[in-house]
Structure 1
Amino acid sequence: MIIGTAGHIDHGKTALVRALTGIDGDRLKEEKARGITIDLGFAYLPVPDGPTLGFVDVPGHERFVHTMVAGAGGIDFALLVVAADDGIMPQTREHLAIIDLLGIRHGLVALTKADLATPDRLRAVPAEITAALDGTSLAGADILPVSAHTGQGIDALRARLAATARTLTGERAAAEASAFRLSVDRAFTLSGVGVVVTGTVLSGRVRVGDGVTVSPSGLPARVRSLHAQNRVAEEGRAGDRCALNLAGPDITKGALHRGDMVLAPALHAPTDRIDASLRLLPREAGAKPLGQWFPVRLHHAAAEVGARVVLLADEALAGGEATQVQLVLERPIAAAVGDRYVIRDVSAQHTLGGGRFLDLRPPPRRRRTAERVAQRAALALAEPAAALAALLAVPPYAVDLAAFVRDHALPADRAETLASDLDLVVLEQGDSRTALSADHWAAFLAQLTERLTAYHAENPDLQGMGREKLRLSVLPRLPAPLFAVAVQRAVAQGLVALDGAFIRLSGHTVRLAPEDEAAWAALAPLLGGEVRFRPPRVRDIATDTGRAETEVRRILKLASRMGWADQVAHDHFFLRDTVREMVALAVDVAVQAPDGTFVAASFRDRMDNGRKVAIQILDFFDRHGITLRRGDLRRINPHRLDLFGPPMVL
């Protein structure tokens, strides 16, 4: 259990930790000379037959409140220190507000310097403290009189902390089941050891030999050794104070900073834009409301970064109000949905408020639409499974499951558990795994077949409906690449069939009139064989066969509708099998190219074709999205390789 001290300067926080543990939390020479804590101090207390208690001794001076926030980000238990002779002071209230904003629910009050107070004072101060705690996360917390000088109450406080640590094991089990994250508050080099970072394990477990990533920089590292709760260990777990000895090609003391996050590689996805809940603290009379794009200092775990508050409502915020906002950061940070944060003013004089992160990938525009409001309401649910279920019930009814699991700092295997527990349909596309509820997937398939049924009734002589037209007419409206995956799933289920750029019901067939079928049977051989890559033009076919050019063009267009041929240019029709073959040749040319891009000449040479016809074919591919062109270079779009036949692998 990590215990964080909090309270006004000179109220005896460091002396109390020393009395409890025998360890002096003031580690800096300047701290000892001035008699105040400037940076975070750490001490440990082994408990017989129980866990080791870790103490984070934080500064009380108002100039160092930002350091206090860094220390409070990973604590389980708040030890609010109030001197009996002074009582509640300004920094006591600010530290208490930060504890409340960070959602720390476990704690008690140590009434220090009890030996210096009169009996009347010892009776009066607890009432003052109780009033200050009212309405906060520490409301109703016990108040224990202690004296670090005489030892009064120290044994009782120590026993109380040990007993509480044993009761918190259940809460820590949930955090241990998440993916690994450690908030870095110090980085240094030890002779003969190398680079070491210290911090609190926010979630998950880490073992010696594990590969990790330093975020937001993205530096890969390996854990060479570790200390947990000031002891050599093979494993560190959620709630432990850990020191990690990191090794890696780019791991140096200068490359690591307070505020970094050492985490499981799959979690590395820093963000500089976050939707969040926000509760403002009551403000002084006459203080300006918090308006649009208000500048603040954002504190998250051990990170501190400049940010702007984007209001998601029209009215400026007065003190004591709660709302949802978008935070636009000056630089990216590593975070997770559900993390707590605090904002202070840019002068570092006042704590303004805080809340929870809701969405790490919000849109920069259309923030206030009904759709976004519904999405934020879903993401505000604390339980991931409930949040995912609620998110799938609102537009766009589809969620990137891999990103959801990552942003909630869940282990990768939780994706399968969530999909199973919620009976989700998962569409896989590269590294992305998009989930839909079973109901919305069924609705998607029903609309798909309904639209195609109506289209076939209105157009019995056409082989199917254009992909993009069908995509835009079906809900949920999926992005084009994902729609292609969904259609492939529908094909596998036997509901629909692909016919070039068209989609049809699997049972739909189109037949030409007998005379048109006979005409096509006569014309088709002219487009195949050795001349298939450079078939004769429409006018040449008309001349060779003695048919009218308009008649030849009509028959070829009918064949194109049937999916037997494709009109590559105004005067050039190719057999469908030939088009499929040319796509394969273009893929092979791209594969052979060092960077995957190729010019028209390479394609022309591979087909042994004329430049003009090769350009016509490539333009046809461009129009259908098979190739993506930039200047004279083209590359293959792997998402469209199923357009003229079974999917190809690039």
Structure 2
Amino acid sequence: MSQQRHIIIGTAGHVDHGKTALIRALTGQETDRLKEEQERGISIDLGFAAFRLPGGQVAGVVDVPGHERFIHNMLAGIGGIDLVLLVVDVNEGVMPQTREHLQILQLLDVRQGILVLTKCDLAEPDWIDIVEEEIREEVAATFLKNAPCLRVSSLTGEGMPELTTAIAEAVKHLPPKDADGPLRLPVDRHFSVAGFGTVVTGTLLSGTVRPGDAVEVIPPGLTVRVREIQVHGNKLSEARAGQRVALNLAGLDRDRLQRGAVVGAPGIFEQTERLDARLTLLPSAPRPLKFRDPVHFYLGTARVIGIVALLDRDQLEPGESALVQIHLDRPLVAHRQDRFIIRSYSPMTTIGGGLVIDPAPIKHKRFRDEVMAALKALESGEMAFLLQKLSEQTCARVKDLELASGLGRERIEQHLASLGEDGRAARLGDQWLTTETSRAWRRRLTEATRQYHEQHPLQPGIPHATLKGALPTKLAPKGYEQLLAEALAAGELVQQQEWLRLPDFAPTPTAAQQKVIDLLEATYRAEGVQAKNRNAMLEQLRLDPDTAEDCFTLLFADGRLIKLNEESFLHRDCYNQALTQLIGHFAAHETLTMAEFRDLLGSARKQTQALLEYFDRQKYTLRKEDLRVAWQLPKVPER
């Protein structure tokens, strides 16, 4: 895996607690870009900046609005952060949005943060001590319980060097990003630049992107080309997971874009209107969540209305967790392990969040033990999820599993290899399936062969192509050949030319069929190379074509008749005589004409032509215009 330490730092906290001023003091950049923000002195939308750490590394900074009216904007930017600065004004202490933002950070599983007390130039040290103690109590049960607490003033610069040092230290403990997964960029802003066209921005959650790459924008589901990449205003030849990115996209109309769209690797991502999830209701939720309650649903930069279907209960109490299915009022891109937030429908307040278990499930029935068992298995880990998806899809390529799981190809291949070693999954060609499915399909091959024997008792077996039709069309030809080879190696089936049969099967003609077989064999032997074509022979013998069909098949299978083409047949003895004469001719001559061979056989032209073309197909002879020369002649056949 490609290990890159690209970091996104985010702010959180109540309105007017100094988040934007703090970022301005740290970076020297203004994140309030809207005229209304600058006039009103509060952040309305997301703001972005670049922060150069002491070692030279540049981190992306996302400044979020603190006002409760703009919580949807805060949620659009907070999802991709690695490190949070929880900002509290020492003159006001912990406020409602401080708590709500902290709850959101917990639900989104942010794991690293720093407590920042702002406007410390306006408060006495003793008071600041009291506020810090209050904050410590507030975060005691969260990921920030052991976080450093810095006292700063954005106005005087007090504490800024210490905060910079604390950020640099915290960054050392953040896990490196994996850039090997499929490209995925949730769009949080989009705009047009004169002379360039449409630009989208966002935090690159996974993958790598380069100028010239083809990417898919969902919605609307268009594949376009990346014209240019910028990170913190600098043009780059590559951007990797964990960076704030601006992409100039060629051939995309800005009017077709919306916040919540995803720029991704083509063919990997799909939208869903239903997902399975583990949902947790906050202890502070004002009331229980009931079956089919509507909620505001936030995932990535998207915001939709969701209907919560509780699967094992009628209501979810505050502080409880449950497996649920959420039905969305419009589609969005979701993947397994994505985290989301829900807010009550009215009045709007954050009441919970959770983790996507399956982004493309079937619709579940409630109060079913098997449904709950399957969901718990999906929840238990990546390998369990892949195994479940293999079971649902019957067989899948790695690309199919990328689409279903959101995992990178390398990680999926590692899991599949482990499942194969454990005997829980099998590979057929470039497709994977569970071992249970593999065994079931092998049983299906033998059962289909058995049924064919019963329906066609005189045929030597089931044709190769017909047997493949017993398996799902999703199985590729290479996979079918491998599965068939395994069945043959295990002795479950026997192959005879193009037919397959059970080991204990032998064609058993009825008395009436045996008479037809004997008659056909005797007649073709007697007529030799002068044998009539199929229809003429059946007319001569007054045989029904349907009755004779299986009899012919048996004579071909055991080699008593040779099928030169669909109409011309020879008895094996006559064929061997003709082959012997061919070999004898080339022992004395370099070339052979059709007329020479016709005279040699004493046959009609049509039968001679059919025989020579058969020899060509067997590679015994090679045709050069009107002549034939020896190619790969066999030995003289035994009589």
Aligned with residue 156 of structure 2, among 150, 153, 172? 150
Structure 1, 402-411 or 1-10: larger mean CA deviation: 402-411
**CA 1:219 to 1:453, structure 2 compared with 1: closer, same or farther past 3 Å?**
closer
**CA 1:38 to 1:310, structure 2 compared with 1: closer, same or farther past 3 Å?**
same
The one-letter amino acid of 2:332's match is I
1:345-364 matches, within 5 Å, as: 345-347=344-346, 349-364=348-363
Partner of 2:419: 422
1:283-314 superposed Cα distances (whole Å, 9 cap, x missing partner): 455x2x21222211211111111221122213
Does residue 505 of structure 2 align to residue 508 of structure 1?
Answer: yes
The one-letter amino acid of 2:436's match is H
SS class of match (1:192):
coil
Counterpart-to-counterpart distance in 1, 2:313 and 2:173: 45
Partner of 2:214: 211
Does residue 414 of structure 2 align to residue 407 of structure 1?
Answer: no
Query: Structure 1-normalised TM-score?
Result: 0.73
Q: CA deviation at 1:546?
A: 7.1
SS class of match (1:202):
coil
Checking the alignment, whether the CA contact within 8 Å between 1:203 and 1:237 is kept in structure 2 is yes
Counterpart-to-counterpart distance in 2, 1:201 and 1:358: 22
Partner of 2:295: 296
1:298-337 matches, within 5 Å, as: 298-337=297-336
Q: CA deviation at 1:233?
A: 1.3
Q: CA deviation at 1:224?
A: 1.3
1:171-320 matches, within 5 Å, as: 171-172=176-177, 174=178, 176-248=179-251, 251-284=252-285, 287=287, 289-320=288-319
Counterpart-to-counterpart distance in 1, 2:338 and 2:436: 31
Q: CA deviation at 1:96?
A: 0.6
Partner of 1:490: 483
The one-letter amino acid of 1:350's match is T
Q: CA deviation at 1:453?
A: 9.8
Q: CA deviation at 1:28?
A: 0.5
1:338-379 superposed Cα distances (whole Å, 9 cap, x missing partner): 111111123362112111111121002446644443432233
Counterpart-to-counterpart distance in 1, 2:555 and 2:86: 76
Partner of 1:115: 121
Partner of 2:93: 87
1:589-604 matches, within 5 Å, as: none
SS class of match (2:316):
coil
**CA 1:310 to 1:118, structure 2 compared with 1: closer, same or farther past 3 Å?**
same
**CA 1:489 to 1:562, structure 2 compared with 1: closer, same or farther past 3 Å?**
farther
Does residue 378 of structure 2 align to residue 379 of structure 1?
Answer: yes
Q: Percent identity?
A: 38
**CA 1:480 to 1:24, structure 2 compared with 1: closer, same or farther past 3 Å?**
closer
The one-letter amino acid of 1:88's match is V
1:482-561 matches, within 5 Å, as: 482=475, 488-493=481-486, 494=488, 496=493, 504-505=501-502, 508-513=505-510, 516-520=513-517, 522=519
Checking the alignment, whether the CA contact within 8 Å between 2:206 and 2:242 is kept in structure 1 is yes
Q: CA deviation at 1:216?
A: 2.6
Counterpart-to-counterpart distance in 2, 1:403 and 1:374: 24
**CA 1:32 to 1:447, structure 2 compared with 1: closer, same or farther past 3 Å?**
same
Checking the alignment, whether the CA contact within 8 Å between 2:398 and 2:413 is kept in structure 1 is no
Counterpart-to-counterpart distance in 2, 1:462 and 1:381: 53
Greater C-alpha Rg: 2
Partner of 2:560: none
**CA 1:416 to 1:119, structure 2 compared with 1: closer, same or farther past 3 Å?**
closer
Checking the alignment, whether the CA contact within 8 Å between 1:260 and 1:302 is kept in structure 2 is yes
Checking the alignment, whether the CA contact within 8 Å between 2:428 and 2:483 is kept in structure 1 is no
Structure 1, 30-39 or 254-263: larger mean CA deviation: 254-263
Counterpart-to-counterpart distance in 2, 1:457 and 1:108: 75
The one-letter amino acid of 1:171's match is P
Checking the alignment, whether the CA contact within 8 Å between 2:312 and 2:366 is kept in structure 1 is no
Partner of 1:161: 167
SS class of match (2:156):
coil
The one-letter amino acid of 2:94's match is I
The one-letter amino acid of 1:98's match is I
Does residue 147 of structure 2 align to residue 141 of structure 1?
Answer: yes
Counterpart-to-counterpart distance in 1, 2:207 and 2:476: 36
The one-letter amino acid of 2:427's match is V
1:338-487 matches, within 5 Å, as: 338-347=337-346, 349-366=348-365, 369-382=368-381, 384-385=382-383, 387-389=385-387, 401-412=398-409, 416-423=413-420, 424-427=425-428, 434-437=431-434, 439-440=435-436, 443-444=439-440, 447=443, 461=457, 479=472, 481-482=474-475
Counterpart-to-counterpart distance in 1, 2:496 and 2:366: 40
Counterpart-to-counterpart distance in 2, 1:385 and 1:353: 27
Does residue 35 of structure 2 align to residue 29 of structure 1?
Answer: yes
Counterpart-to-counterpart distance in 2, 1:396 and 1:563: 43
Q: CA deviation at 1:89?
A: 0.8
Checking the alignment, whether the CA contact within 8 Å between 2:117 and 2:151 is kept in structure 1 is yes
**CA 1:252 to 1:391, structure 2 compared with 1: closer, same or farther past 3 Å?**
closer
Counterpart-to-counterpart distance in 2, 1:480 and 1:368: 34
Counterpart-to-counterpart distance in 2, 1:236 and 1:190: 20
Checking the alignment, whether the CA contact within 8 Å between 1:199 and 1:243 is kept in structure 2 is yes
Q: CA deviation at 1:164?
A: 2.4
**CA 1:235 to 1:558, structure 2 compared with 1: closer, same or farther past 3 Å?**
closer
Counterpart-to-counterpart distance in 2, 1:64 and 1:562: 80
Partner of 1:602: none
Checking the alignment, whether the CA contact within 8 Å between 1:109 and 1:142 is kept in structure 2 is yes
Checking the alignment, whether the CA contact within 8 Å between 2:180 and 2:409 is kept in structure 1 is no
1:263-295 superposed Cα distances (whole Å, 9 cap, x missing partner): 11132322111111111112455x2x2122221
**CA 1:293 to 1:556, structure 2 compared with 1: closer, same or farther past 3 Å?**
farther
Counterpart-to-counterpart distance in 2, 1:171 and 1:80: 22
Checking the alignment, whether the CA contact within 8 Å between 1:371 and 1:395 is kept in structure 2 is no
Q: CA deviation at 1:329?
A: 1.4
Counterpart-to-counterpart distance in 2, 1:59 and 1:205: 29
**CA 1:130 to 1:443, structure 2 compared with 1: closer, same or farther past 3 Å?**
same
**Structure 2: unaligned runs, 5 residues or longer:** 1-6, 525-530, 558-562, 568-639
SS class of match (2:188):
strand
Partner of 2:46: 40
Q: CA deviation at 1:497?
A: 6.1
Q: CA deviation at 1:241?
A: 0.6
Counterpart-to-counterpart distance in 2, 1:479 and 1:277: 33
The one-letter amino acid of 2:142's match is T
Q: CA deviation at 1:320?
A: 1.2
1:126-137 matches, within 5 Å, as: 126-137=132-143
Checking the alignment, whether the CA contact within 8 Å between 2:449 and 2:462 is kept in structure 1 is no
The one-letter amino acid of 2:264's match is L
Counterpart-to-counterpart distance in 2, 1:340 and 1:513: 69
Counterpart-to-counterpart distance in 2, 1:177 and 1:219: 23
The one-letter amino acid of 2:68's match is E
Counterpart-to-counterpart distance in 1, 2:566 and 2:275: 50
